[in-house]
Amino acid sequence: MEKWMSYGVETIKIFVIFIVCLLAFYYGILWLSDSYEADERLNKPEKNYEEVKINSKISFY
């Protein structure tokens, strides 16, 4: 009986550690997402822009 109680306690410890790491990862991703939303380089340009045309005949090989 004591053996099973020991296994149960160890299982609960591992479960708690997993939940803590999962929450840390989740809130870390949210923090990164918020910091990238404020990045002005990712905003669409306000002025009109032209698409860069690639000449498919030019090859570097």
For residue range 9-61, list pLDDT tens digits in order. Answer: 999 999 999 999 999 999 999 998 887 776 666 667 677 777 777 766 665 65
At residue 57, the pLDDT reads: 66
Give the separation between CA 8 and CA 14, rounded to whole angstroms. 10
* Structure confidence at residue 8 (pLDDT): 95
| pTM value > 0.95 | no
pLDDT reported for residue 61? 57
For residue 10, the 8-state DSSP code is: H
CB 42 within 8 A of CB 36: yes
From residue 33, how far is each of 27, 29, 45, 54, 60 by CA, in Å?
10, 6, 20, 33, 38
pLDDT of residue 21: 98
d(CA 50, CA 4): 69
